[in-house]
Amino acid sequence: MANLQELVKFTKTLSLLVVEDNQDSREQFVNMLKSLFDNIVTGVDGEDGLKKFKEDSFDLVISDINMPKMNGLEMIEEIRKIDKKVTIMVVSAHNENNFIDDAQFFDVDSYLFKPISLPQFIESLSQMMNKVK
């Protein structure tokens, strides 16, 4: 568990933006993330997420794709115009995997399927940590 402890030490220093339109999903996800992150900001759709991103500086953005008003990819496109370095993870349902190509185009760091598998999520975070180091 040395790795995990090390990872948590790293993640606790990060500021995180979570964008997810479904309230239940968002809350459950944030509940889980609280074990890893201390600084979590949430957005309820793409528009809201972009607004929050502009207001603060973030190390990591985790976003859903299929959302009203502005979808995840549109939001990422806008974010990338502002910040080319921020780590972006996309979380999406399996039947939306035709977005993967678009996501790669916008330099998305990780692509996760719903429901999120913990080992995969930890693996993605580890990759991010290694990059930063």
Partner 1 sequence: MSFQDLSKNKINFLNIFIGFSILIVFSLIVKNMFYQYAIETNVDKARIVTQELLATRHYLAKVAPYTVITKKNINSFAISPAFVGAKIGETLKEKGYIYLKQTSRKYRNKNNAPDSFEENLLKKYETKELEGEHYEISDMHGEEHLRYSFPLYIKKSCLACHGKPKIEVKETIYNELVKNYGERSFNYKEGELRGMISVAINIQDIDKTLKSFNIKMFFMMVLLFIMILLFFYIEKKFIYDPQLKKIQRLNETLESRIAEEVAKNRQQDQQLIQQSRLAQMGEMISMIAHQWRQPLSAISSTSSSLELQAMLDKTDKETVIELSQKISSYAQHLSITIDDFRSFFKANKTKTSTSLKIIVESTLAIVETSLQNKDIELVKNFQCNKEFFIYENEVKQVILNLIKNAEDVLLEKGIKNPRIELQDSCGIDGDNPTLFIKDNGGGIPENIKEKIFDPYFSTKIKKDGTGLGLYMSKIIIEEHCKGQLSVYNEDDGAVFMIEFNPKERK
> Footprint of partner 1 on this chain (CB under 8 A)?
1, 4-5, 8, 22, 24-25, 28-29, 31-32, 34-36, 66, 68, 93, 95, 114-118, 121
The residue assigned the tokens 């995997």 is: 97
CB of 19 to partner 1, least distance (A): 15
CB of 107 to partner 1, least distance (A): 25
Give 70 or 80: the residue with its C-beta nearer to partner 1.
Answer: 70
Give 80 or 114: the residue with its C-beta nearer to partner 1.
Answer: 114
Give 63 or 86: the residue with its C-beta nearer to partner 1.
Answer: 63
Please give, one letter per residue, the 3-state secondary structure of 74-132: HHHHHHHHHCCCCEEEEEECHHHHHHHHHHHHCCCCEEEECCCCHHHHHHHHHHHHHHH
Give 100 or 116: the residue with its C-beta nearer to partner 1.
Answer: 116
**Antiparallel, parallel or unpaired: β 110-113 and 87-92:** parallel
37 vs 9: CA distance, rounded Å: 9
81 vs 115: CA distance, rounded Å: 29
CB of 114 to partner 1, least distance (A): 5
* Geometric angle at alpha carbon 59, from 103 and 89, rounded to 5°: 25
CB of 129 to partner 1, least distance (A): 16
